[in-house]
Amino acid sequence: MNKRNFFASIILIVLCGCYAYFTANLETRNIQNTTQPSFFPWIITGCLAILSFSLLLQSLLTTKRQTLKKKPAPRDLIIIGFLISLAYLLLLPVLGFLGGNILFFAGLSRIYGEKNILKICLFSVIISIFIFYLFRNVFQIQLPIGILGGVLT
Amino acid sequence: MSPDVIDGFAQASQLSTVLSVAFGCLIGLIVGMIPGLTISTGIIIVLPLTFVLEPDISIALLLGLYVSGMTGGSFSAILLNIPGTPSASATAMDGHPMAKKGDAGRALGIAIIASFFGGLVSFLCLFFIAPVLADVALRFKSPDLFSLVFFGLTIICSFAAKSLIKGLLSAVIGLVIVTIGQDPMMGTARFTFDQVNLISGISFLTALIGLFAIPQLVDNLSEIIKGKTASEAGAKIKKVIPNLSDLRLMKIPIGIGSFVGSFLGILPGAGGPIAAFISYDYTRKLSKIPDEFGKGSTEGIAAPESANNAVTGGALIPMMTLGIPGDPVTAILIGALLIHGLAPGPLLFMENGDFAYGIIFSFFWANIFNIIIALISLRFLVKVLVIPKAILMPTIAILCVIGSYALRNNFFDVYVMFGFGLLGLAMRWLDMPIVPLLLAMVLGRQLEEHLRVSLISSQNDITIFFTSPFSLFFLCLAGISIFWSLWAERQNTKKSQKKLI
């Protein structure tokens, strides 16, 4: 059995079930000789169901074990990266793009192997400020400043 | 000559447009040569810029990046034996052995010149074929358009995935995503869960940034190049212009590469790597010195390099005339056009003929600037390979966040982008291709609209798709592509089973 495909097919079957449930609850319109808003989603549901069950069948019949082509990235680094990104997303509306990006840059820079704290601080501040001003002042994209607003304006 | 052609040339030759092309070429060469960064990532980096620029300047910038990204990929393939882009993999087979012999400059020169000719041939194809095809496409009615889009999707699934089921599943997931938002016919909200941000649907560009950039950022955690540096590689570059005997040898491979690349570029999903390997193989079979292949053959560099650059012009043909993207880059180009209220397709040539020809001539300029910038700044450009990933990757991450925010000035899009990043990682883990999902997101609305309009006009008579000759033709092609893919998959399984025995 191909465990990865089996796992994928189960997730897709669940997704298909949820999608079918929401499709069945879509609003209908009383217009003659026309297709309803749920028409296309029902076709997709059918395709998704057929393909997911095909994958399930294929995974049960396959004996060959899948091999990964690339060397996988270190799991601990991925988890740390994910946590940094999550914290960044949650704090972004408060910290704004400038403060948030400096911290985000510093965190990622450390994950990508930079050990020199001075270099991390220097690059994260310089690059974040440069990008922020480039987009805000040159491209006129209103990036929120967040709590640093009082300091900068 | 049509006034649109003249206006298009004038538009593409304006200083601002030409400078934009040149800037795009410079970025493209840099992005292309850095292993771990693809052309799609390069486009994602400059994407926020295109929101504020005029449409012709934006497209010129993206075209410059597209064309030069293909050439840039060969630099690291030749110097470090690490292809900067997947399309440059075939170039490494002879480019690196030539560089190891001390002829790195010559190998790079051959690659640059072959890229130029490949691009030029595909420009001619684009210039002559696109308007004719657009003219034919104007006769298409809803059933024909539905079948055409359906064919486009099936062929992408066939090419993009090793397993047809997974390719089709990826496309269906894309279609599920595309149904979020307002129904295209009646405006009814679907799967929005009372979220105001979902009423206009999920932005294709936000999804694209997440799907491509985040898995690449994760990939780069494990891909740290050791032992080889660009400084060493740069020191090996001496004479860049190839000698006369090289130029003589390049004629046939460039011809083969340009033809194969332009043709395969037109087919959605085929892309640069396939074109490069096919032309490499054909050239080796036709060569008078086939033993040289793999040891630093001039023909072995010229064929794949001309092919991968010829793909660029070919891929623009279905994008501009039918609104069907051939690869992620042309899908992004469609997204960039849509942001500016311009829909690619046959009507682009009818309603905005000057703009359509402007794109074609910008593509021409992109090829001209590609060769100029590459030849002049080669020694300087290779130094970019020493930029540490600890600086490069966080910069890309920040640009991705700003890019997704800048689309609608909304934090919601940033969260959606990260969500798609996780989806991209999950799909990578499950060995499911991302490209069909992305292209289904571009084509999904058209597919639904044409299907429903056809059924309404025929009073739910499904035979309408088989009575129109165009529609029948495209459906047959879709069937062939599915069966061909299934057959190829079966053959591969048999082969691998034999090997195991």
- Written as six digits, the tokens of A101 are 């990006």
| Residue B226 pLDDT class (50, 70, 90 cuts) | very low
Domain total of chain B: 1
C-alpha distance from B245 to closest chain A C-alpha (Å): 40
- Residue B273 is predicted with a pLDDT of 74
Furthest CA-CA distance within chain B: 71
Tell me which chain A residues have a C-beta less than 8 angstroms from the C-beta of B173.
48
Q: Region B355-366: what's the mean pLDDT?
A: 92
Whole-number average pLDDT of chain A = 85
> Which tops the pLDDT comparison, A75 or A72?
A75
* Angle between helix B298-322 and helix B104-137 axes, rounded to 10 deg: 20
Q: Measure CB to CB from residue B398 to each of A35, A105, A141 and give the nearest one.
A: A105
The number of C-alpha atoms within 13 Å of B225 and in the hemisphere containing its C-beta is: 18
Q: Measure CB to CB from residue B431 to each of A4, A41, A127 and give the nearest one.
A: A4
- Written as six digits, the tokens of B194 are 């009372």
Predicted complex ipTM: 0.89
Q: Region A41-63: what's the mean pLDDT?
A: 91
Helix (H, G, I), strand (E, B) or coil at B183: coil
**Residue contact B456–A127, C-beta within 8 A:** no
- Residue B73 is predicted with a pLDDT of 81
Res. B171: pLDDT tops 70: yes
- Residue B445 is predicted with a pLDDT of 87
Please state, as a whole number, how many other Cβ atoms lie within 10 Å of the Cβ of residue A18: 10
Residue in chain A lying closest to B417 (CA): A89
Segments forming the whole domain that contains residue B81: 3-500
Segments forming the whole domain that contains residue A119: 75-152
Q: Region B161-177: what's the mean pLDDT?
A: 89
Q: Measure CB to CB from residue B391 to each of A64, A66, A109 and give the nearest one.
A: A109
Q: Are A41 and A7 part of one and the same domain?
A: yes
Q: How far is B324 from B440, CA to CA, in rounded Å? A: 10
> Which tops the pLDDT comparison, B381 or B27?
B27
Res. B233: pLDDT tops 60: no
Q: How far is B349 from B346, CA to CA, in rounded Å? A: 6
Closest by CA to B120, choosing from B259, B20, B244, B7, is: B259
> Which tops the pLDDT comparison, B392 or B122?
B122
Tell me which chain B residues have a C-beta less than 8 angstroms from the C-beta of A141.
48, 51-52, 402, 405-406, 409
Res. A72: pLDDT tops 70: no
Res. B167: pLDDT tops 70: yes
Please report which helix (H) or strand (E) contains residue B181, including its range: strand B181-182
Q: How far is B120 from B136, CA to CA, in rounded Å? A: 24
Torsion of CA B342, B348, B351, B354, to 10 degrees: 100
Q: Measure CB to CB from residue B409 to each of A34, A73, A142 and give the nearest one.
A: A142
Res. B16: pLDDT tops 60: yes
Q: Are A50 and A95 part of one and the same domain?
A: no
Tell me which of B82, B191, B395 to substitute to probe the interface with A (most A C-beta atoms closer than 10 Å).
Answer: B395
Domain total of chain A: 2
Res. A66: pLDDT tops 70: no
Asked if the structure places residue A26 within a domain, the reply is: yes
Q: Are A34 and A87 part of one and the same domain?
A: no
**Residue contact B432–A97, C-beta within 8 A:** no
C-alpha distance from B496 to closest chain A C-alpha (Å): 10
> Which tops the pLDDT comparison, B340 or A23?
A23
Q: Region B160-174: what's the mean pLDDT?
A: 86
Q: Are A98 and A143 part of one and the same domain?
A: yes
Res. B195: pLDDT tops 80: yes
Q: Are A142 and A80 part of one and the same domain?
A: yes
| Residue B36 pLDDT class (50, 70, 90 cuts) | low
- CB-based burial label for B347 (10 Å; 0-12, 13-18, 19+): middle
Q: Measure CB to CB from residue B222 to each of A7, A35, A70 and give the nearest one.
A: A70
Q: Are A46 and A99 part of one and the same domain?
A: no
Q: How far is B130 from B137, CA to CA, in rounded Å? A: 10
Identify the top-confidence range among A42-51, B145-154, B321-330, B489-498: A42-51
Q: Region B64-76: what's the mean pLDDT?
A: 86
> Which tops the pLDDT comparison, B288 or B421?
B421
- Written as six digits, the tokens of B228 are 């080889």
Q: Are A79 and A147 part of one and the same domain?
A: yes
- Residue B225 is predicted with a pLDDT of 45
**Residue contact B399–A142, C-beta within 8 A:** no
Res. B166: pLDDT tops 60: yes
- Residue B231 is predicted with a pLDDT of 47
Tell me which chain A residues have a C-beta less than 8 angstroms from the C-beta of B191.
22, 41
Residue in chain A lying closest to B411 (CA): A93
> Which tops the pLDDT comparison, B489 or B376?
B376
Closest by CA to B44, choosing from B27, B26, B29, is: B27
Q: Are A45 and A91 part of one and the same domain?
A: no
Q: Are A100 and A39 part of one and the same domain?
A: no
**How many CB pairs below 8 Å do chains A and B form together?**
163
Q: Region B11-34: what's the mean pLDDT?
A: 89
- Residue B237 is predicted with a pLDDT of 67
- pLDDT one-digit tens code per residue, B378-426: 777 777 767 788 888 898 888 888 888 887 888 899 999 999 999 999 9
Q: Are A39 and A7 part of one and the same domain?
A: yes
Q: Region B199-209: what's the mean pLDDT?
A: 85
C-alpha distance from A14 to closest chain B C-alpha (Å): 13
Taking a C-beta distance cutoff of 8 angstroms, is the pair B412, A127 a contact?
no
Q: How far is B396 from B381, CA to CA, in rounded Å? A: 19
**Residue contact A113–B220, C-beta within 8 A:** no
- Percent of chain A at pLDDT exceeding 70: 88
Q: Are A80 and A56 part of one and the same domain?
A: no
> Integer distance in angstroms from the first to the last C-alpha of chain A?
62
The pTM for the full model equals 0.80
C-alpha distance from B25 to closest chain A C-alpha (Å): 20
Asked if the structure places residue A70 within a domain, the reply is: no
- Residue A54 is predicted with a pLDDT of 93
Q: Are A82 and A130 part of one and the same domain?
A: yes
- Residue B229 is predicted with a pLDDT of 44
Res. A121: pLDDT tops 90: yes
Res. B54: pLDDT tops 80: yes
Res. B242: pLDDT tops 90: no
- Residue A69 is predicted with a pLDDT of 54
